[in-house]
Amino acid sequence: MASAAAAAAAAAAEWEAAARKVLVARKPCFGLPTACPNCLPVLLYLRMAQVPFDIHVDTSFPDADHIPYVEFGDCVAFNNEKGGVIEYLREEKLVDLNSNDPSASSADVLATKAMVSTWLADALLYELWVVTDGSVAHDIYFSDLPWPIGKIYQKASAAYEALSLRLGDEVFLFDNSRTDVDALFLGHALFVLSALPETSVLRGTLQNHDNLVNFAEHHKVQLLEASSSSGLGSSPGPSSSTPRKRASSGQSYKPKPRAKKERTEEEKKFRRRAKYFLATQLVAVLVFLSLMGGVDSSEFDDDDGMDYEE
């Protein structure tokens, strides 16, 4: 507990020390300072808390999960860490609007927050990506990208959205019976989820649709794995692969395990010495080979002899 308090204190000190905070968000459009539905709440939160900040527009990363983010001093609060920028600022007590009115029942606040961030947000996303012809999404996310990139991702996003709505809560895509479209999409989805790296844009976009991921998981268990648990995968059964994958499907950019970086000094020294040892061995072998074999380096000058005009 003391360590967490120390970390929070360090963050607060950095926040106070920062002369000017910077919010990096997507571009302004439609009369709004930022048109992206994820960035606008953060901007309004900072404005309501009367925190002075500058806005920097990011035009080249439409599929990033970490945007919007707030920079203060050398620290950064990303949107894909610790539940989001607003959550982080609130928990670290850097910018806490709710502290002004402690009488507001926290259950009410949480319930309303849940309603806004799921029901309303879903409808907004549906309107943004599916109902309109995609021109609004294009203006917000892709209009500043050079043309081939924007079109590719826009189309893929629209396709995933449409498929997600088509699938809904059913088992198969069309009228609850198998079709070849199921096989086609299942093949695509399994490949994207299993083979593409975590940083892949396409994989991130697909993982935004939970029902599509569940569809892929469920059918993978049924069709590909011998020991399978029945049902739509709601049981945390003995099959080891499924629970882990569902846990990671919610977030696209999981924080990389930090333990890898904190090697002890001894281990680093040991590794360095081992590298030197191996390199010396290799060089010794090569020297032996070259001394015994002898290398005729003159044969490499052959090309210089063919001097003629083109």
Partner 1 sequence: MAAAVDPAADQNPKDAELHENTAEVDAEFTEDEYDEDEEDDELDGPAAAAAAERERVQAVFRRLSSDPVGIRVHDVIIKGNIKTRDDLIEAEVADLLRAAPTVQDLLRAASVASARLHRLDIFEAVKITLDAGPPELPGTTNVVIEVVEATNPLTGSAGVYSKPEARSWSLEGSLKLKNLFGYGDIWDASGSYGWDQTTEVGVGVYLPRFKSIPTPLMARASLSSQDWQKFSSYKERLLGLSFGLLSTMNHDLSYNLTWRTLTDPSRASSKAIRRQLGHNLLSALKYTYKIDERDSHLRPTKGYAFQSTSQVGGLCDSKGLRFFRQEFDVRGAVPLGFYNAALNIGVGAGVILPLGRGFMNSSSSVSDRFYLGGHSSPVCSLSGLSSLLGFRTRGVGPTEARRLVPKESDSDSAASLGRDYLGGDLAVSAFADLSFDLPLKLFRDAGIHGHAFLTAGNLAKLSEGEYKNFSVSEFQRTFRSSAGVGIILPTTLFRVEVNYCHILKQAEHDSGKTGIQFSFSSPM
Binding site residues, partner 1, CB under 8 A = 3-4, 6-8, 10-11, 14, 24, 56, 58-62, 64, 66, 71, 73-76, 78, 81, 144-149, 198-199, 201, 253, 255-256, 279, 283, 286-287, 289-291, 293-297, 300-301, 304, 306, 308, 310
39 or 163, CB closer to partner 1?
A: 39
8 or 171, CB closer to partner 1?
A: 8
To partner 1, the closest distance from the beta carbon of 43 in angstroms equals: 18
To partner 1, the closest distance from the beta carbon of 119 in angstroms equals: 30
Hey, how many other C-beta atoms are within 10 angstroms of the C-beta on 166?
Answer: 14
100 or 258, CB closer to partner 1?
A: 258
To partner 1, the closest distance from the beta carbon of 308 in angstroms equals: 5
> What secondary structure, in 3-state letters, does the chain show?
CHHHHHHHHHHHHHHHHCCCEEEEECCCECCECCCCCCHHHHHHHHHHCCCCEEEEECCCCCCCCCCCEEEECCEEECCCCCCCHHHHHHHCCCCCCHHHCCCCCHHHHHHHHHHHHHHHHHHHHHHHHHHCCCHHHHHHHHCCCCHHHHHHHHHHHHHHHHHHHHHCCCCCCECCECCHHHHHHHHHHHHHHHCCCCCCHHHHHHHCCHHHHHHHHHHHHHHCCCCCCCCCCCCCCCCCHHHHHHHHHCCCCCCCCHHHCCCCHHHHHHHHHHHHHHHHHHHHHHHHHHHHHCCCHHHHHHHHHCCCCC
Q: Provide the edge-to-edge strand list for the sheet that holds 69-72.
A: 53-57, 21-25, 69-72, 75-77
33 or 73, CB closer to partner 1?
A: 73
To partner 1, the closest distance from the beta carbon of 192 in angstroms equals: 16
133 or 262, CB closer to partner 1?
A: 262
To partner 1, the closest distance from the beta carbon of 296 in angstroms equals: 8
Phi, psi of 160 (to 5 degrees): -65, -40
To partner 1, the closest distance from the beta carbon of 76 in angstroms equals: 5
To partner 1, the closest distance from the beta carbon of 300 in angstroms equals: 6
172 or 253, CB closer to partner 1?
A: 253
Distance of CA 119 to the CA centre of its chain: 23
To partner 1, the closest distance from the beta carbon of 6 in angstroms equals: 6
157 or 164, CB closer to partner 1?
A: 157
250 or 255, CB closer to partner 1?
A: 255
Q: Report the alpha-carbon distance of residue 278 to residue 153 in Å, rounded.
A: 46
